[in-house]
Amino acid sequence: MNDSRTVACPRCAKPVRWGPESPFRPFCSERCKMIDLGAWASEEYRVEVKGTGDPDAGSAGSGQDSP
């Protein structure tokens, strides 16, 4: 029974099931995918990372100031 394969999300290193249940693989979610694509830099997609109660809030993200 080696059917379920798991990969690590390139963004947050969270384990992601490699299957139809993970449409955003290898990313864990659409958010991680968009962030990796750099879409967050565009005005069309703003990522909220403040007070979302994310379990991944452990890693300290450097506050980047866009000009």
Q: Which residues lie near Zn ion (CB under 5 A)?
A: 9, 11-12, 14, 28, 32
The CA distance from 66 to 38, in Å, is: 13
Minimum CB distance to Zn ion smaller for 51 or for 55: 55
At its nearest, how many Å lie between Zn ion and the CB of residue 13?
A: 7
The CA distance from 33 to 39, in Å, is: 9
Instruction: Report yes or no: 13 and 25 within 8 Å, Cβ to Cβ.
Output: no
Minimum CB distance to Zn ion smaller for 1 or for 50: 50
At its nearest, how many Å lie between Zn ion and the CB of residue 37?
A: 13
